[in-house]
Amino acid sequence: MESVNELIDFLDVNTRLDIKTLALHHVLSLTGSFESRKLLLSNPKCLSCLIQLAFGKEEQKSINKDAFFSLINLSADEIDAGQMMHQNSNLVQMLLDYILDEKSQFADTACAILSNLSRGKKNSQIIFDKYFTDSNNNSEKNAAVSLAKLLQVFCTEKFNITNNLDYLGPFICNLTQLESVRNSILNDLLIIQRLIPYTTYNRSIIRRGGLIGAIKNCCFNYDYHQQLLLSPDIDILSRLLLPLAGPEEFEPEEMEKLPDDLQYLPPDKEREVDPDVRTMLLETIMMVLCSRKECRDYIKEKNAYVILRELHKWETDDKAKETCEKLVQILIADEPEREYENLHQVPVPGDLAQKFYEFETKELEKNFQ
């Protein structure tokens, strides 16, 4: 412990450059270990020095870079992330400022750190309440970031010339653990229309997976299912099915029932390459499908079954294949009795209701953090 504290002392901004560089290299290597991260964070000076080195305008870029990477590693654990925000209340605002700065050279690392810090509903709530103007619980008079602004940056191609901001996807996904964030997104048609196309964004699995996780989280707001599914302005079914579709040809009578965007796909059409993302897409369709009879009827009418049938033949991942089977079973099963048509209004015994609530909370927290 004493040797670690001595090492941290050398991270002071006024330390000679060669010594500071060597000390920072050692600290960065230590952040790769769970036990070492705990040890480093037990000394508040460590975080303070790393933040100064990361954001220091006068520091060499190599110093900035290693300090930022150290912060990424330190924030990898949810509990440690909460401790970091408690130790330095300015960290999140500094990261947001870098992300919103079009010329920032370290916006990508800022996004990655925020993605880590926002893991878990508790941490997401702290960030949203303190730093976003949208929050009803906001007590910070100087909070200047809005959810709409963040989403605008996410959807703006080349917002930052030298950084891609892909890790904004997982950060947004983490924020959608909060019902207030989900409501803000679902109540704005323009936001949904700008986000939905990223289900097929082929330049980055990080951005694509984060966005699909956010859509899945938004589907936990069951009252919006009919709006999401049946609105021609959104057409979410096509957007969720398209990444699952392959190059297979269908009989004319099967083809004409499919949504327009799923008809006559090219022979080189490829499915989503990541099995976890394929599973999320299937789970999202299942959540919407399982809600109301009108939603189930619509998905059957659009012949989603044939896309899922071919996916099942092709699928090699066990979890994705099992999820696909469950979805197909819902599609081909007989409709429940009239009083049970809305599956979210079926009476559930208290003990089971608590278990379902705990499961839903875990699902929200695990989605592509």
Q: How confident is the model at residue 342 (pLDDT cuts 50, 70, 90)?
A: low
DSSP secondary structure letters along 219-288: TT-GGGHHHHHH-TTT-HHHHHHGGG--S----HHHHTTS-GGGSS--TT----S-HHHHHHHHHHHHHH
Total structural domains in the chain?
A: 3
* Res. 350 pLDDT band, cuts 50 70 90: low
Residue 342 lies in a domain: no
**CA dist 299 → 126, 261, 295, 296, 332 (Å):** 38, 15, 6, 5, 11
Task: Give the least confident one: 113-117, 148-152, 233-237, 350-354.
Answer: 350-354
Find the domain containing 20 and state its range. 1-74
Query: For 37-51, how does the pLDDT look when each residue is reduced to its tens digit (9 = 90+)?
Result: 999 999 999 999 999
Q: For 152-162, what is the mean pLDDT?
A: 95
Task: Give residues with Cβ within 8 angstroms of 193, minimum separation 6.
Answer: 233, 234
| Cβ neighbours of residue 312 closer than 8 Å, sequence gap 6 or more | 321, 324, 325, 328
Examine the domain organization and report whether 207 and 251 are in the same domain.
Answer: no
pLDDT at residue 150 in the model: 96
Q: What pLDDT is recorded for position 332?
A: 87
Phi, psi of 306 (to 5 degrees): -70, -35
The structure's pTM equals 0.88
pLDDT for 289: 73
d(CA 108, CA 165): 5
- Least trusted range by pLDDT, from 9-13, 22-26, 139-143: 139-143
Listed residues 218, 250, 282: the one ending a domain = 218
Mean per-residue pLDDT, 327-336: 82
Domain's final residue, options 74, 109, 124: 74
- 105 pLDDT more than 90: yes
Q: How confident is the model at residue 369 (pLDDT cuts 50, 70, 90)?
A: very low
Phi (first) and psi of residue 145, to 5 degrees: -100, 130
Task: Clarify whether residues 214 and 231 are in a common domain.
Answer: no
Nearest to 13 by CA among 55, 72, 74, 71: 55
User: End of a domain among 17, 47, 74?
Assistant: 74
Question: What is the predicted pLDDT for the residue at 179?
Answer: 94
Average of per-residue pLDDT across 350-359: 50
Confidence of residue 58 (pLDDT cuts 50, 70, 90): confident
Given a cut of 70, whether residue 188 has pLDDT beyond it is yes
Looking at the structure, do residues 169 and 223 belong to the same domain, yes or no? no
CA distance 277 to 219: 16
Same domain for 206 and 104: yes
Q: Among 168-172, 190-194, 224-228, whose mean pLDDT is lowest?
A: 224-228
Per the prediction, the chain carries an average pLDDT of 89
Please state, for a pLDDT cut of 70, what percent of the chain lies above it: 88
pLDDT at 340 over 60: no
pLDDT at residue 316 greater than cutoff 60: yes
**What digits encode the pLDDT tens for the residues 250-300?**
999 999 999 999 999 999 999 999 999 999 999 999 988 777 788 888 999
Q: In the predicted model, is pLDDT for residue 357 greater than 50?
A: no
Residue 338 lies in a domain: no
Residue 343 resides in a domain: no
Q: Cβ neighbours of residue 188 under 8 Å, at least 6 residues apart?
A: 148
CA distances from 247 to 57, 243, 328 (A): 51, 11, 20
Residue 28's nearest CA partner among 46, 15, 9 is 46
State the average pLDDT over residues 87-109.
Answer: 96
